[in-house]
Structure 1
Amino acid sequence: MTKSKEKKREKISVASEIDRIEERRSLCQDSLERAEFRRRREELSEQDRQALEDEMTIMTERIQKYECELEMLRGENRRNMLLSVALLAISVLLYYALIN
Protein backbone atom coordinates (compact mmCIF):
# COMPACT_ATOMS: atom_id res chain seq x y z
CA MET A 1 0.00 0.00 0.00
CA THR A 2 1.36 3.44 -0.82
CA LYS A 3 2.18 5.98 1.85
CA SER A 4 -0.64 8.32 0.83
CA LYS A 5 -3.19 5.52 1.16
CA GLU A 6 -1.77 4.55 4.56
CA LYS A 7 -1.96 8.15 5.79
CA LYS A 8 -5.50 8.53 4.46
CA ARG A 9 -6.52 5.27 6.09
CA GLU A 10 -5.07 6.35 9.44
CA LYS A 11 -7.34 9.39 9.47
CA ILE A 12 -10.48 7.28 9.04
CA SER A 13 -12.04 5.97 12.25
CA VAL A 14 -12.45 2.25 12.72
CA ALA A 15 -16.23 2.60 12.92
CA SER A 16 -16.46 4.50 9.62
CA GLU A 17 -14.13 1.95 8.00
CA ILE A 18 -16.42 -0.85 9.23
CA ASP A 19 -19.44 0.97 7.78
CA ARG A 20 -17.66 1.47 4.44
CA ILE A 21 -16.67 -2.18 4.16
CA GLU A 22 -20.13 -3.40 5.21
CA GLU A 23 -21.62 -1.24 2.45
CA ARG A 24 -19.23 -2.69 -0.12
CA ARG A 25 -19.97 -6.22 1.11
CA SER A 26 -23.70 -5.52 0.81
CA LEU A 27 -23.26 -4.30 -2.78
CA CYS A 28 -21.31 -7.44 -3.66
CA GLN A 29 -23.94 -9.61 -1.99
CA ASP A 30 -26.67 -7.89 -4.03
CA SER A 31 -24.69 -8.41 -7.23
CA LEU A 32 -24.18 -12.05 -6.38
CA GLU A 33 -27.90 -12.54 -5.72
CA ARG A 34 -28.80 -10.88 -9.04
CA ALA A 35 -26.32 -13.11 -10.87
CA GLU A 36 -27.72 -16.23 -9.19
CA PHE A 37 -31.27 -15.19 -10.07
CA ARG A 38 -30.23 -14.57 -13.66
CA ARG A 39 -28.51 -17.96 -13.84
CA ARG A 40 -31.65 -19.73 -12.60
CA ARG A 41 -34.23 -17.83 -14.65
CA GLU A 42 -32.63 -17.15 -18.02
CA GLU A 43 -31.66 -19.49 -20.77
CA LEU A 44 -27.98 -18.71 -21.29
CA SER A 45 -25.49 -19.96 -23.81
CA GLU A 46 -22.61 -21.99 -22.45
CA GLN A 47 -20.26 -19.04 -22.89
CA ASP A 48 -22.62 -16.64 -21.09
CA ARG A 49 -23.20 -19.17 -18.34
CA GLN A 50 -19.44 -19.59 -17.84
CA ALA A 51 -18.94 -15.81 -17.75
CA LEU A 52 -21.73 -15.55 -15.17
CA GLU A 53 -20.15 -18.34 -13.09
CA ASP A 54 -16.81 -16.53 -13.22
CA GLU A 55 -18.47 -13.30 -12.10
CA MET A 56 -20.17 -15.15 -9.24
CA THR A 57 -16.84 -16.65 -8.19
CA ILE A 58 -15.23 -13.21 -8.13
CA MET A 59 -18.12 -11.78 -6.09
CA THR A 60 -17.90 -14.66 -3.62
CA GLU A 61 -14.15 -14.10 -3.20
CA ARG A 62 -14.70 -10.37 -2.62
CA ILE A 63 -17.39 -11.08 -0.03
CA GLN A 64 -15.02 -13.43 1.80
CA LYS A 65 -12.25 -10.80 1.67
CA TYR A 66 -14.61 -8.18 3.10
CA GLU A 67 -15.67 -10.60 5.85
CA CYS A 68 -12.02 -11.07 6.85
CA GLU A 69 -11.44 -7.31 6.87
CA LEU A 70 -14.57 -6.78 8.96
CA GLU A 71 -13.48 -9.41 11.46
CA MET A 72 -10.10 -7.71 11.82
CA LEU A 73 -11.63 -4.23 12.17
CA ARG A 74 -14.21 -5.39 14.69
CA GLY A 75 -11.41 -6.91 16.77
CA GLU A 76 -9.53 -3.62 16.60
CA ASN A 77 -12.72 -1.79 17.57
CA ARG A 78 -13.16 -4.07 20.61
CA ARG A 79 -9.57 -3.46 21.69
CA ASN A 80 -10.07 0.30 21.37
CA MET A 81 -13.26 0.11 23.42
CA LEU A 82 -11.57 -1.95 26.15
CA LEU A 83 -8.68 0.50 26.25
CA SER A 84 -11.12 3.40 26.61
CA VAL A 85 -12.97 1.66 29.42
CA ALA A 86 -9.69 0.84 31.18
CA LEU A 87 -8.54 4.46 30.92
CA LEU A 88 -11.87 5.65 32.26
CA ALA A 89 -11.66 3.24 35.18
CA ILE A 90 -8.10 4.37 36.00
CA SER A 91 -9.19 8.01 35.79
CA VAL A 92 -12.10 7.39 38.16
CA LEU A 93 -9.84 5.52 40.61
CA LEU A 94 -7.25 8.31 40.56
CA TYR A 95 -9.96 10.93 40.99
CA TYR A 96 -11.38 9.20 44.07
CA ALA A 97 -7.90 8.47 45.45
CA LEU A 98 -6.86 12.12 45.18
CA ILE A 99 -10.13 13.45 46.68
CA ASN A 100 -9.99 11.22 49.75
Structure 2
Amino acid sequence: MAKLKDKRRENISVATEIDRLEERKARCQDNLERAEFRSRREELSEKERQELEDEMAIMNERVLKLDKELETLRGENRRNMVLSVALLVLSALFYYIFIYSEENS
Protein backbone atom coordinates (compact mmCIF):
# COMPACT_ATOMS: atom_id res chain seq x y z
CA MET A 1 0.00 0.00 0.00
CA ALA A 2 2.88 2.39 0.77
CA LYS A 3 4.35 1.73 -2.67
CA LEU A 4 1.04 2.66 -4.30
CA LYS A 5 0.99 5.93 -2.34
CA ASP A 6 4.59 6.67 -3.41
CA LYS A 7 3.67 5.82 -7.02
CA ARG A 8 0.82 8.36 -6.95
CA ARG A 9 3.08 11.03 -5.47
CA GLU A 10 5.59 10.52 -8.29
CA ASN A 11 2.94 11.71 -10.74
CA ILE A 12 2.23 14.88 -8.73
CA SER A 13 4.24 18.02 -9.38
CA VAL A 14 6.36 19.52 -6.63
CA ALA A 15 4.22 22.68 -6.62
CA THR A 16 1.04 20.63 -6.17
CA GLU A 17 2.62 18.69 -3.32
CA ILE A 18 3.71 21.97 -1.67
CA ASP A 19 0.14 23.30 -1.92
CA ARG A 20 -1.24 20.08 -0.45
CA LEU A 21 1.16 20.16 2.49
CA GLU A 22 0.49 23.85 3.13
CA GLU A 23 -3.24 23.11 3.32
CA ARG A 24 -2.60 20.25 5.77
CA LYS A 25 -0.37 22.51 7.85
CA ALA A 26 -3.05 25.23 7.92
CA ARG A 27 -5.66 22.70 9.08
CA CYS A 28 -3.32 21.45 11.82
CA GLN A 29 -2.65 24.99 12.98
CA ASP A 30 -6.40 25.75 13.03
CA ASN A 31 -7.02 22.63 15.12
CA LEU A 32 -4.20 23.62 17.43
CA GLU A 33 -5.61 27.13 17.88
CA ARG A 34 -9.05 25.70 18.64
CA ALA A 35 -7.57 23.35 21.23
CA GLU A 36 -5.61 26.20 22.84
CA PHE A 37 -8.74 28.37 22.92
CA ARG A 38 -10.69 25.52 24.48
CA SER A 39 -8.03 24.99 27.15
CA ARG A 40 -8.20 28.67 28.11
CA ARG A 41 -11.98 29.14 28.01
CA GLU A 42 -13.42 25.93 29.40
CA GLU A 43 -13.28 24.48 32.86
CA LEU A 44 -11.69 21.10 32.27
CA SER A 45 -11.00 18.26 34.63
CA GLU A 46 -7.37 17.29 35.13
CA LYS A 47 -7.83 14.25 32.89
CA GLU A 48 -9.47 16.29 30.10
CA ARG A 49 -6.77 18.94 30.37
CA GLN A 50 -4.04 16.29 30.09
CA GLU A 51 -5.74 14.71 27.06
CA LEU A 52 -6.02 18.14 25.44
CA GLU A 53 -2.35 18.87 26.12
CA ASP A 54 -1.38 15.50 24.63
CA GLU A 55 -3.46 16.27 21.55
CA MET A 56 -1.81 19.70 21.26
CA ALA A 57 1.64 18.11 21.52
CA ILE A 58 0.78 15.69 18.71
CA MET A 59 -0.48 18.56 16.54
CA ASN A 60 2.71 20.54 17.23
CA GLU A 61 4.78 17.54 16.13
CA ARG A 62 2.73 17.26 12.94
CA VAL A 63 3.23 20.96 12.17
CA LEU A 64 7.00 20.60 12.67
CA LYS A 65 7.08 17.52 10.45
CA LEU A 66 5.11 19.32 7.74
CA ASP A 67 7.49 22.30 8.01
CA LYS A 68 10.44 20.00 7.37
CA GLU A 69 8.71 18.37 4.39
CA LEU A 70 7.83 21.80 2.99
CA GLU A 71 11.42 22.98 3.37
CA THR A 72 12.64 19.92 1.45
CA LEU A 73 10.06 20.35 -1.30
CA ARG A 74 10.79 24.06 -1.65
CA GLY A 75 14.49 23.25 -2.05
CA GLU A 76 13.61 20.72 -4.74
CA ASN A 77 11.37 23.30 -6.41
CA ARG A 78 14.22 25.85 -6.44
CA ARG A 79 16.57 23.27 -7.93
CA ASN A 80 14.04 22.44 -10.65
CA MET A 81 13.60 26.13 -11.44
CA VAL A 82 17.36 26.68 -11.74
CA LEU A 83 17.60 23.66 -14.04
CA SER A 84 14.77 24.99 -16.21
CA VAL A 85 16.40 28.41 -16.50
CA ALA A 86 19.74 26.80 -17.37
CA LEU A 87 18.09 24.73 -20.13
CA LEU A 88 16.38 27.83 -21.47
CA VAL A 89 19.68 29.72 -21.57
CA LEU A 90 21.40 26.79 -23.32
CA SER A 91 18.61 26.58 -25.87
CA ALA A 92 18.85 30.30 -26.58
CA LEU A 93 22.63 30.03 -26.88
CA PHE A 94 22.40 27.11 -29.35
CA TYR A 95 19.76 28.96 -31.33
CA TYR A 96 21.98 32.02 -31.55
CA ILE A 97 25.10 30.01 -32.46
CA PHE A 98 23.58 27.67 -35.05
CA ILE A 99 20.60 29.52 -36.49
CA TYR A 100 21.41 33.21 -36.18
CA SER A 101 25.07 32.78 -37.11
CA GLU A 102 24.21 30.82 -40.30
CA GLU A 103 21.76 33.48 -41.42
CA ASN A 104 24.43 36.20 -41.14
CA SER A 105 27.06 34.19 -43.06
Query: How far off is 1:2 after superposition?
Result: 2.6
What is aligned with 1:38?
A: 38
Work out the CA distance in 1 between the residues paired with 2:5 and 2:40.
40
Q: Which runs of 5+ in 1 are unaligned?
A: none
Q: Which runs of 5+ in 2 are unaligned?
A: none
CA deviations 1:75-100 (Å, max 9, x no partner) are: 00000000000000000000000020
- For the pair shown, the structure with the greater C-alpha radius of gyration is 2
Structure 2 counterparts to residues 7-86 of structure 1, below 5 A: 7-86=7-86
What is aligned with 2:6?
A: 6
Work out the CA distance in 2 between the residues paired with 1:91 and 1:85.
10
TM-score norm. by structure 2 comes to: 0.93
Q: Which amino acid aligns with 1:77?
A: N
Q: How many residues align?
A: 100
CA RMSD of aligned residues (A): 0.9
What is aligned with 1:94?
A: 94
Work out the CA distance in 2 between the residues paired with 1:40 and 1:70.
31
Q: Which amino acid aligns with 1:38?
A: R
